[in-house]
């Protein structure tokens, strides 16, 4: 099961997905086309209109393959079960997603709400022939009517609504002390200061513009380009990278405070490994909301990958030592195969143990001349540091079994940045 953060996404299994939020909440869903708009009122599934092709939230689930022709997405929306009231007055919601067999697929706990009465919780969207789930966490303070209008549903109101103010003036984040605020927070956490890199700033500007045009935070643009691919396209090669994709804050101070209000987000802003940053905020001209992209990175150096893989090996052996197992020896041949697989995942935009040519980990090891009789592999993507990736593997039973496998004696580690999801990691075990 994947724990998602705002903007995070993952591939979905085939079949029907069940989405559940325990507590005093209602769910509704909007079926949208490629432009993020509904076709007509029939695409708005709520308690009164309980189903649409492929969507039966209350007594079934969502089956992407069963959506109407032309549908490219389903946005899941949360509101209080009572007729009115702000979400901030209720317990924090958590979305649970399970597959057709009842197995957990994903969990998402959005940032705490305040005055919002409606929350864009998650989006199921088509990417080529496959479907993915993206965590959102964007709130509305004007209820389902405002949400419906933004998605193209016609809503008849008994009295004219108060006009929404247009966007106020937008200032470049650097002009109101953004860098000073960030570095003050980092200093308090014991982390070194970051400096501005114009390539990261250009990538942030491009990504914020895409989010503002779409009217929703997202890790990918409408054309499928991820925020990490934008960084690479701007000529920035990184050793590690992180991001904040946020809507709502009106000032740099509000943005930094938002990033510090939740543990995972705070860790990103204060990550000691980051040395450079770039940021931008762009308004949605329809709503006036600001869409922020902050990018944090350490630039690539020739010695960087070697240091990184050495640390992964050391942390792996520390986990083995903790349970009385002997250390794994560094294996240059396995390392070359692991590095090639990480690079292959970036170059060919896939994330799997099986290569596009059909080869499995043991096939790749044997082809390179490995004589190990037993081979195992761990992969991961998106983690910012060796400590984070090893911790993630240890939290997963299958990956943990490889790290603590008594039959393994050697290890090769591969690491590459630059793909759709940032960093790609491979451990190749031999015994």
Residues with pLDDT less than 50, the chain: 155-175
Would the pTM of this model clear 0.95, i.e. be above it?
A: no
CA atoms 178, 179, 181, 182: torsion sign: positive
Identify the pLDDT of residue 27.
87
pLDDT tens readout for residues 22-55: 888 888 898 988 777 788 878 888 877 788 999 9
Identify the pLDDT of residue 319.
96
Identify the pLDDT of residue 39.
83
How many Å apart are CA 3 and CA 79, to the nearest integer?
Answer: 22
pLDDT tens readout for residues 203-221: 998 999 888 888 888 888 8
How many Å apart are CA 376 and CA 362, to the nearest integer?
Answer: 7
Identify the pLDDT of residue 139.
74
How many Å apart are CA 312 and CA 385, to the nearest integer?
Answer: 9
Identify the pLDDT of residue 46.
81
Contact in structure between 242 and 274 (CB atoms under 8 Å): yes
* Dihedral pair phi/psi, residue 207, rounded to 5°: -75, -40
Count CB-CB contacts under 10 A for residue 376.
22
Identify the pLDDT of residue 136.
84
Q: Strand 238-247 to strand 276-283: parallel, antiparallel, or no bridges (unpaired)?
A: unpaired
How many Å apart are CA 359 and CA 370, to the nearest integer?
Answer: 15
Identify the pLDDT of residue 84.
57
């Amino acid at each position: 099961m994947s724990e998602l953060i705002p903007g995070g996404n993952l591939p979905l299994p085939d079949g029907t997905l069940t989405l559940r939020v325990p507590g005093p909440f209602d769910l509704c869903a909007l079926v949208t086309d490629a432009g993020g708009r509904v076709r007509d009122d029939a695409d708005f599934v709520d308690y009164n209109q309980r189903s649409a092709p492929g969507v039966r939230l209350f007594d079934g689930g969502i089956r992407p393959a069963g959506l109407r022709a032309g549908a490219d997405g389903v946005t899941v929306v949360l509101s209080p079960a009572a007729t009115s009231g702000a979400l901030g007055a209720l317990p924090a919601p958590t979305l649970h997603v399970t597959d057709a067999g009842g197995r957990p697929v994903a969990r998402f706990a959005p940032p705490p709400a305040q005055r919002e009465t409606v929350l864009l919780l998650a989006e199921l969207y088509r990417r080529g022939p496959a479907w993915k789930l993206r965590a959102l966490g964007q709130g509305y303070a004007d209820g389902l009517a405002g949400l419906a209008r933004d998605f193209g549903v016609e809503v008849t109101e008994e009295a004219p609504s108060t006009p929404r103010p247009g966007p106020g003036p937008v200032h470049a984040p650097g002009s109101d002390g953004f860098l000073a605020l960030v570095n003050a927070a980092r200093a308090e956490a014991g982390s070194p200061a970051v400096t501005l890199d114009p390539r990261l700033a250009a990538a942030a500007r491009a990504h914020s513009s895409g989010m503002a045009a779409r009217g929703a935070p997202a890790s990918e643009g409408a054309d499928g380009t991820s925020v990490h691919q934008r960084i690479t396209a701007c000529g920035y090669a990184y050793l590690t990278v992180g991001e904040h994709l946020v809507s709502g804050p009106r000032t740099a101070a509000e943005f930094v405070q938002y990033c510090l209000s939740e543990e995972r987000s705070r860790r990103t802003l204060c990550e000691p490994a980051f040395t450079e940053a770039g940021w931008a905020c762009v308004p949605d001209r329809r709503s006036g909301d600001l869409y922020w992209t902050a990018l944090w990175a350490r630039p690539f150096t020739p010695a960087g990958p070697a240091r990184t893989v050495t640390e992964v090996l050391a942390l792996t052996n520390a986990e083995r030592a903790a349970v009385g197992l002997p250390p794994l020896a560094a294996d240059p041949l396995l390392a070359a195969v692991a590095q090639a697989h990480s690079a292959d995942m970036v170059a060919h935009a896939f994330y799997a143990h099986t290569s596009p040519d059909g080869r499995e980990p043991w096939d790749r090891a044997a082809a390179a001349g490995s004589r190990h009789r037993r081979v195992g592999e761990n992969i991961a993507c998106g983690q910012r540091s060796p400590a984070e990736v090893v911790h993630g593997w240890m939290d997963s039973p299958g990956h943990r079994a490889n790290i603590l496998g008594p039959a393994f004696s050697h290890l090769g580690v591969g690491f590459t940045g630059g793909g759709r999801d940032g960093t790609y990691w491979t451990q190749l075990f031999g015994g």
